[in-house]
Structure 1
């Protein structure tokens, strides 16, 4: 075993890896320090899961670049001051992963008022409802079913999103869905895998959405009671983001394809995109 140290805001977080860099044992405290970095969450009035994907260590010894790629929940809720703050972060591209129906009924980022490039890349054709999903009460089992279903039916859509993010002059960018949890969570996991961020960190980043969901529900109780009621009546599995679910998905892909990156190649992510993302997002 060899020791690999990663910088994090002036501190050094030490992880253990195999000398080949293929097996990681990152302790929980180190991961928590990374995901809870105060730079990560962008505080906004009406959007509650807008997070920076910078500051994460990689197996190459580099770190993901701050203020270049963000993940978020429903940007259609942005107030005018929120949208200005997003633009002030340097964001030049918004990638909306929601369905066409979601855009038509709820709206989008206010593209007419702010200078951003807007791309609609719907990952799925329709959102899940309690009546059209299996009766799986266990949260992890349900999420694993949902993400396997997404990958079975929408893998090329994820490839399209990754290839777009790798395009010249797209970054800094933010990609989002409704809660910033499922579609956004899987895409974030894929991008971080391309950057060779350890699986434990990827899983934990996905799991941080639970905090955003709590903030959203508290905000909705005051500002959008109907939305708060909808979440209150929703089965818990629909609002969950258990890191163990993402761990299963990543393990699945490694077992079937050898690595997440090899899977991404098979579904249409090209080598130029992989190289471009690493060049743009690693320091």
Structure 2
């Protein structure tokens, strides 16, 4: 049993997929607010196996998990309370603060344009992804597709950038959302809501930023990943069969992710495992 739980494929693919699928099937009848927790549950299962939810001492990965937990509560509040007009501004401020807290230790070793580039570009990347993806909260298929593609691109790029833990965490999100996409494929939409989008997108964005700052992920990979929410605005015919619409939407979202993975591979080489 210990050998199974220590298998990276089990930790980052099978476990989050199964947990997310079970929770989605259980919570789906209770409404979209709660159904969005399915992918969060799948990711949490992997995070527990990999880290035991230990928070101290506060390393970068533990900061990201702590911020993800806070983001779950924030997303749930946005779903339950009538704060929609204030949501973009609130999420922007929260995302900027989270990004600055993550990269703050690096500021001591930088000055000049490098310091300002990190202080501006890093928070801008996180804030853009969180705010733009959260706008898809009422569109179940686009929400799942954007998180899946972002997770896949971040996870495999982080793995190539010599950050195995970051890669496993992001890949676990992709697997968890993959379970939801399976239900979309079977013509059973499972709405996302802010309770899924805010924490999972925030974690992905912070993992990507952390992989650039603390490892070897090329910064331009993040530029490609930032295009994913824009592609979810591409209009598609609602007359398509549900299974075809699901496949096309996911493939469109995965184009920038695939390019990011390829360019990271060209820069960093094969993964260190």
TM over 0.5: no
Which structure has greater helix proportion?
A: 2
- TM-score, normalised to structure 2, is 0.37
More contact order relative to length (CA 8 Å, sep ≥ 6):
2
